[in-house]
């Protein structure tokens, strides 16, 4: 189908756990919906999982993939009973999603702190439900740089700052350099205090200009 896109409900409301949508395409073992609260793996944040319900049938969503052009595929074990035009109710695994939101918000704070403290830009990273890792463009490896950064991260978390999300045209958004304004479409928490307590797990050198740090949030 040409010009078909999925409306990304999580971008308007990252706290939305349930939604109704129509199936617009079924391909392989995946259903494309006209709208979804399921976040696909993108922007360095891992996917949601959960369930789709249609009449009495339950479909376990095991993967969510954003296809080029803007459709979101919901991979389920068995698509029988799903067809274009079918109305489904989607329910995301909220415990997993909320941890992704807390850790994703933490990564923004960490990136801002690392940039301010030592001018280090992030060169990669990934947020999983149980931990996150970020690579920084740093010449020297010193664990204390990260330990001190996480102290500051936790201060910012405790202050309960409001997290603001801006929507900009893509070309404009991509012009914004590092710091505490970063271009992504991922889900965040509303206040930094929702993050909880940030704990550094480990740090390692992955190359001359690549120093990686792993962290998690508690509880
Ligand atoms: Zn973000």
Give per-residue pLDDT as tens, 56-84: 999 999 999 999 889 999 999 899 999 99
pLDDT exceeds cutoff 60 at 149: yes
Residue of 197, 189, 48, 199 lying closest to 132 (CA atoms): 199
The rounded Å distance from CA 45 to ligand 1 centre is 9
CA–CA separation, 211 and 146 (whole Å): 10
Least confident of 5-19, 30-44, 172-186: 172-186
CA–CA separation, 198 and 131 (whole Å): 10
Residue of 74, 48, 40, 39 lying closest to 59 (CA atoms): 74
The rounded Å distance from CA 77 to ligand 1 centre is 30
The rounded Å distance from CA 86 to ligand 1 centre is 32
CA–CA separation, 18 and 22 (whole Å): 14
Omega prior to 219 cis, within 30 of 0: yes
DSSP 109: H
Burial class of residue 186, CB neighbours in 10 A (0-12, 13-18, 19+): buried
The rounded Å distance from CA 150 to ligand 1 centre is 18
The rounded Å distance from CA 185 to ligand 1 centre is 6
pTM, to two decimals:
0.91
pLDDT category, 178, cuts 50, 70, 90? very low
The rounded Å distance from CA 1 to ligand 1 centre is 30
The rounded Å distance from CA 106 to ligand 1 centre is 9
CA–CA separation, 153 and 116 (whole Å): 12
């Amino acid at each position: 189908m040409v010009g078909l896109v999925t409306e990304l409900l999580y971008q308007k409301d990252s706290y939305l756990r349930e939604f109704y949508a129509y199936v617009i395409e079924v391909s392989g073992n995946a259903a494309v919906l006209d709208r979804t609260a399921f976040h696909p793996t993108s922007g360095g944040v891992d996917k949601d999982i959960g369930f789709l319900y249609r009449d009495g049938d339950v479909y376990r969503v095991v993967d969510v993939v954003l296809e080029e052009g803007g459709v979101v595929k919901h991979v389920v074990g068995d698509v029988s009973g799903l067809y274009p035009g079918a109305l489904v109710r989607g329910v995301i695994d909220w415990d997993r999603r909320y941890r992704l939101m807390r850790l994703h918000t933490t990564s923004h704070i960490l990136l801002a702190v690392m940039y301010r403290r030592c001018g280090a830009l992030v060169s990669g990273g990934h947020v999983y439900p149980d931990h996150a890792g970020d690579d920084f463009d740093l010449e020297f490896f010193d664990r204390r740089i990260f330990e001190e950064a996480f102290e500051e991260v936790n201060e910012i978390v405790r202050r309960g700052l409001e997290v603001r999300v801006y929507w900009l045209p893509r070309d404009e958004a991509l012009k914004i350099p590092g710091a505490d304004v970063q271009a992504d479409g991922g889900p965040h928490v509303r206040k930094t205090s929702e993050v909880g307590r940030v704990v550094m797990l480990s740090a390692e050198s992955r190359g001359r200009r690549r120093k990686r740090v792993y962290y998690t949030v508690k509880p």
